[in-house]
């Protein structure tokens, strides 16, 4: 599985690299959408929801089925997406996206860290004054 993927940009065969498949020529990366969400959730330490925004651009072929991909934005990163197979990242785009991951946290999982911290703080004061 995943052996006959080809680069949407250079048409070169992609090499498997962990959860991504990389093009050695243009350094782009192909990531299945579930794998992408897993990578981002691990990075954010919470659930994330990806706010895809449609973009008008020249479509590229899917690495897997060769159908035209949707051109989309995720945060400020411009990507190509085949809904069935995955997402294409040009060189450095995956790194850029990982830097923006905090934006994609779901509202239900807003980090209660501040709350926890103030609680600890109050407890600490309680013990200190006792
Ligand atoms: Zn390539
Ligand atoms: Zn596809």
> Residues lining ligand 1 (ion), CB within 5 A?
7, 9-10, 23, 25-26
The pLDDT assigned to 111 comes to 53
pTM metric for this prediction: 0.78
pLDDT (tens digit, 9 = 90+) per residue, 103-128? 898 866 555 555 566 767 777 777 77
Domain annotation covers residue 114: yes
Q: How many domains are there within the chain?
A: 1
Query: What tokens does 20 get?
Result: 């991504």
- Give the closest ligand to the alpha carbon of residue 60: 2
Domain annotation covers residue 42: yes
Compute, in angstroms, the gap from residue 34 CA to the centroid of ligand 1.
Answer: 22
Could you tell me the sign of the dihedral formed by the alpha carbons of 22, 19, 80, 4, in that order?
A: positive
> 30 is in which domain, residue-wise?
15-129
* Pure H helices in the chain: 33-44, 93-99, 113-129
The pLDDT assigned to 2 comes to 44
Compute, in angstroms, the gap from residue 113 CA to the centroid of ligand 2.
Answer: 40
Domain annotation covers residue 70: yes
Domain annotation covers residue 35: yes
Compute, in angstroms, the gap from residue 27 CA to the centroid of ligand 2.
Answer: 20
Domain annotation covers residue 52: yes
Domain annotation covers residue 82: yes
Compute, in angstroms, the gap from residue 22 CA to the centroid of ligand 1.
Answer: 8
Domain annotation covers residue 6: no
Domain annotation covers residue 21: yes
């Amino acid at each position: 599985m995943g052996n006959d993927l080809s680069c949407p940009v250079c048409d070169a065969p992609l090499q498997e690299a962990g959860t991504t498949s990389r093009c050695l020529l243009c350094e782009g990366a192909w990531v299945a959408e579930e794998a992408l969400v897993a990578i981002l959730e691990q990075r954010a330490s919470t659930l994330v929801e990806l706010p895809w925004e449609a973009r008008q651009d020249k479509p590229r072929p899917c690495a897997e089925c060769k159908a035209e991909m949707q051109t989309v934005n995720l945060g400020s990163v411009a990507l190509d997406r085949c809904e069935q197979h995955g997402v294409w990242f040009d060189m450095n785009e995956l790194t850029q996206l990982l830097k923006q991951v905090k934006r994609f946290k779901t509202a239900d999982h807003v980090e209660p860290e501040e709350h926890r911290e103030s609680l600890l703080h109050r407890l600490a004061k309680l013990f200190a004054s006792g």
